[in-house]
Amino acid sequence: MSKDVLPGTDHQLRTTGTSDVPLQETNGRPHEATTPLSDPQPIDSSATQIGAGSAAFKKRHPDIGARPGTLMIADDAPTPRIRMIRFDQEDVHEQDITGAQQMAAALDPADITWVDVQGFGDEELIREIGEIFSIHPLAMEDVVNIPQRPKAEMYQDQIIIITRMVKMNGAASVDMEQVTLVLGESYVLTFQERYGDILDPVRDRIRTGVGRPIRRNGAGYLAYAIVDTIVDGYYPVIEAIGDHLERLEHSAMENPSNEVLRELNRTKNMLVNLRRAIWPQREAVNSLIRDENSLINDDVRVFLRDTYDHCVQTAEVIEMYREMATGLMNTYLSSIANRTNEVMKVLTIMASVFIPLTFLAGIYGMNFVHMPELQVWWAYPLVWGTMLTVGFGMLAFFWRKGWIGQG
């Protein structure tokens, strides 16, 4: 692994101090949150989808002029499920949390604590969690008002990391979910839109990792492990997309159809939105490496470099597949044009053969009285012989020119 930190663009907001915006105040009603992007197959309508044929950006947001820190929670948001994992180098304690008071009582600054919140359906509970951990109101707004651009924001004693988690949903569909990390001195909070994730390997490493880095390197390493797992989750997705593109390439050349065109368009939109997720995520990881902060020590930065490399690699593959999808669109159009040309060629040859035959038939089909050929017995077979000779002669001429019979 290279020890040089690859350059990136720092667009991170730096906020110091605390805000006077009360977390208890809200304004307006929630807007329905859907992100209808491209998806080869229908998937769960409750998910932030990469599908439905459009790459439009839609986001829950407060009313115009609303106070900063306003939370917009969808009416159909799932009720929060909270799981706490508290550990040190020797022991691990896990428990389900049902209320803010239970959470506050279970915290132990001597241990590393991971609090995983899945679902935003209880606004009061979400706000209480923000108060327990002294999360900045603007950060809480980014947590709830989804989707946000992946980023890393440095606050006085916390780092807010917003990522996009993707996973396969069925054989050929993908859904995307925002995951927000709040990194403190001895804790990591993760906020997820809905139930289910790809973070079970991290949980297993905590449970079985006595003496391993995840149990002895603090909250910063835990945050790295979560972000790294989310980034690695892109690999099976882009591999599945690559296989899908290979099938589409074969179909575009062998059997171009409207269905192939629709699949190409959906796949292209899917890649556009995956690119929109991974590129700013790369910048966020790079800012964690580059910016000095006591919550991310030098040992963790070394591991984050590897995560940054993974971001770069996935971004490059997604960009390559996007160009491939564009190329397949051109291949599809070329195949359709070639098929049209073949049809036109056949029709042109048929017309060319029948033009002289029609000429002969037209002459001898006229009802003139003085047509000497009509009075002899051999006139009829002579006309047939002439027509057949002309027809087959033209076909032979076309064949010698390579216009027919060449595969």
State mean pLDDT over 74-84: 89
Residue 341 has pLDDT above 90, yes or no: no
| Mean of pLDDT over the chain | 80
Would you state the pLDDT for residue 213?
Answer: 85
For the chain, what is the radius of gyration of the CA atoms?
33
HSE at residue 70, side-chain half, CA atoms within 13 A, is 16
Would you state the pLDDT for residue 329?
Answer: 83
Indicate the range of 33-37, 49-53, 138-142, 313-317 predicted with least confidence. Answer: 33-37
Structure tokens belonging to residue 246: 């290979």
pLDDT level of residue 9 (50, 70, 90 thresholds): very low
Give percent of the chain with pLDDT exceeding 90. 31
DSSP assignment string, 229-241:
HHHHTHHHHHHHH
Q: Assess whether the previous peptide bond of 147 is cis (omega < 30° from 0).
A: yes
Would you state the pLDDT for residue 57?
Answer: 52
How many Cβ atoms from other residues are within 10 Å of residue 243's Cβ?
Answer: 11
Would you state the pLDDT for residue 257?
Answer: 81
Q: Give the 3-state secondary structure of residue 71.
A: coil
Structure tokens belonging to residue 33: 């949150």
Alpha-helix runs per DSSP H in 16-170: 100-106, 123-132, 137-144
pLDDT level of residue 377 (50, 70, 90 thresholds): confident
Would you state the pLDDT for residue 160?
Answer: 94
Q: At what angle do helices 234-254 and 218-232 cross, to 10 degrees?
A: 10
Would you state the pLDDT for residue 228?
Answer: 95
Q: What is the pTM of this model?
A: 0.72
Indicate the range of 119-123, 163-167, 172-176, 276-280 predicted with least confidence. Answer: 172-176
pLDDT level of residue 348 (50, 70, 90 thresholds): confident
Higher pLDDT, 41 or 165: 165
Q: Report domain extents, the chain.
A: 48-334, 345-401
Domain 345-401: homologous superfamily in CATH: Magnesium transport protein CorA, transmembrane region (1.20.58.340)
Would you state the pLDDT for residue 53?
Answer: 44
State mean pLDDT over 181-208: 92
pLDDT level of residue 39 (50, 70, 90 thresholds): very low
Q: How far apart are the first and last CA of the chain?
A: 53
pLDDT level of residue 222 (50, 70, 90 thresholds): very high
- C-alpha torsion angle, residues 135, 139, 142, 143 (rounded to 10): -20
Would you state the pLDDT for residue 353?
Answer: 84
Higher pLDDT, 286 or 252: 286
Would you state the pLDDT for residue 325?
Answer: 87
Residue 384 has pLDDT above 90, yes or no: no
State mean pLDDT over 75-101: 90
CA–CA distance, 321 with 55 (Å, rounded to integer): 17
Would you state the pLDDT for residue 181?
Answer: 95
pLDDT level of residue 307 (50, 70, 90 thresholds): very high
Q: Give the 3-state secondary structure of residue 78.
A: coil
Please give the backbone phi and psi of residue 296, each rounded to the nearest 5 degrees, phi first. -115, 105
State mean pLDDT over 232-237: 92
Structure tokens belonging to residue 288: 């964690």
Residue 243 has pLDDT above 60, yes or no: yes
CA–CA distance, 273 with 285 (Å, rounded to integer): 19
CATH 3.40.50.300 fits 48-334, yes or no: no
Would you state the pLDDT for residue 343?
Answer: 83
pLDDT level of residue 8 (50, 70, 90 thresholds): very low
Residue 94 one-letter amino acid: E
